[in-house]
Structure 1
Amino acid sequence: MGSRSVAVERLVGAGQGAVWEALTDLRGMERVLSGVTKVEVLTDGAFGVGTRWRETRRMFGKDATEEMWVTVSVPPERYVVEAESHGSRYVSAWDLTPAGPSATTVRMTFSATPTGGVSGLLAKLMGGLGERAVRKAIAKDLADVAAAVEGRGASEGPA
């Protein structure tokens, strides 16, 4: 079984910089993303390549904790986060494209590739129902980010 991926895109009514800040503020992630219950940052310094954290998220009715790390960071346009778990490598790529002065198209692409060992979880996660659940979780994250940033800078005028 090869790599499987899911992509979700959403137009957010906020500038690229504000969206980048909301997505990369690890210490504020629990307040922004309703699916995330705990974040433990493991590295010091600003968000960038090499930043690592442990994220606990409610998935399929239970808490799952994964250690993640940033492998690409091109502020405020793109970053890539990876994780390895249950015999699979997970890659989440976030692309932020300006869509006017106070709008940004956010596209998140999640892919899972077996690395050996048990790929049963991968099959369950990315097959049929699992793929819909992953797509729904990503869409919820994007809705949460939009809710956090839209209107935040509305009274500040043009950026």
Structure 2
Amino acid sequence: MSCEPQLTKRLGVHQRVTYYLGKLLMKTFTAKPETVQRDWYVVDATGKTLGRLATELARRLRGKHKAEYTPHVDTGDYIIVLNADKVAVTGNKRTDKMYYHHTGHIGGIKEATFEEMIARRPERVIEIAVKGMLPKGPLGRAMFRKLKVYAGNEHNHAAQQPQVLDI
């Protein structure tokens, strides 16, 4: 093998081609934010385990199920979750799992069990689980905004014609 250096050419901002001795070695694709195709999906959370559901939702919000996945570009889909109040947890988590938040005042730590959260705001249970699995920062917040969670069986996104996604 010769000691000639590799030659890298830039074909625009989104593709890089590396040549070695005039032969093509690799071609890296990078998704552009304006060309990403985003679909709408609807998921029924009835009887689904919270962690397993949240893992798959986070994966699809990031776009890791697509061939054109790029870590620094939001390539994920929109997801509508229905029946968040009927999500399941294993073991004694229904009574033992605690959710904490702080009001901002001194001594303002608040806690609630899983049962209390489901009774008060069932959407937050799935939102908290999914948000913890997404990247932290502006990109993760953009991915999280594509998640729509509803406690009941009705949603107001019929105009987007969501496809049923079985998880």
TM-score scaled to structure 1, two decimals? 0.27
Give 1 or 2: higher strand fraction. 1
- Asked which structure has the greater CA Rg, the reply is 2
